[in-house]
Structure 1
């Protein structure tokens, strides 16, 4: 009887240890920009974001304030959260600054929501792709219907003609987020053109 009881206790302890190990599995991100972002046990670290919906996860990736604000302004969040799997190719704040003037950004976020939604859809793929997947693929199709060439770029992934991943492989509740260093899509570059005193 004691032997049987001991066996039950050991099995239960092993099962608990297994559960604990699974829940504490860390999520690794990679890229030159990752050192500037939360890591280890810091709030917003990659492991902590793995179960978060896309809008909540983006709030913790501190180089994506423009993209996160644009996503909220576009009202696309419910659509993305309703998808089984997504990959977000999110331009950094510096990428947005290099692409758009502040006046242009304000116009997109406040008045021209249709164009904003099209712009954001050009950065989202309707399936979950890791950095390795992007490096191995020849192309991906974004939600706006554009086929974008992808491939290897040193240890990162090339996205289109100019962009590369700079902090890749964030996991979120229904997919992945990769920070990239250029804005995708066909909108004209307006950075440096006539901002009205912001």
Structure 2
């Protein structure tokens, strides 16, 4: 793999306060492509942090992993649409209809991504929750559904990225979370 371009780097603002998140965004604005706001920060400071990021004119990755009935997900996407996120996530396991509802309610500039399997799930954990095909089979099935539903791409572990790139082609988005330098703590990442 070649050198990453700044636009390919996403900084996870996995912090507790909007002040800390915006400090990181100011520090790295123009040096990386997108700033990710996950559920933790969104629930604590959603409006404040998203307003601040919009004022900084930086691309937003709203990683809320919506997973509900299609109508509810569609309305949830409509509710966050004013923030015009570059990326927005849904769980691919919610099914084709749910993912299609997300796409139909998203702003045209928003790339809806399907989370295949959480990277915290090991092979054993995937089988324990009923995916008897294991990680590879589950990711392949969920990715196929996501593509059929019209999503822009998927979120998957770096281990699945190469095969997912073949499925999605050069125009599809293949996002890999939890990527860290060698020797870093894994925390809750099982497949990063």
> TM-score per shorter chain, which class?
under 0.3
Indicate the structure with greater helix content. Answer: 2
Normalised TM-score (structure 1): 0.25
Larger radius of gyration: 1
Normalised TM-score (structure 2): 0.25
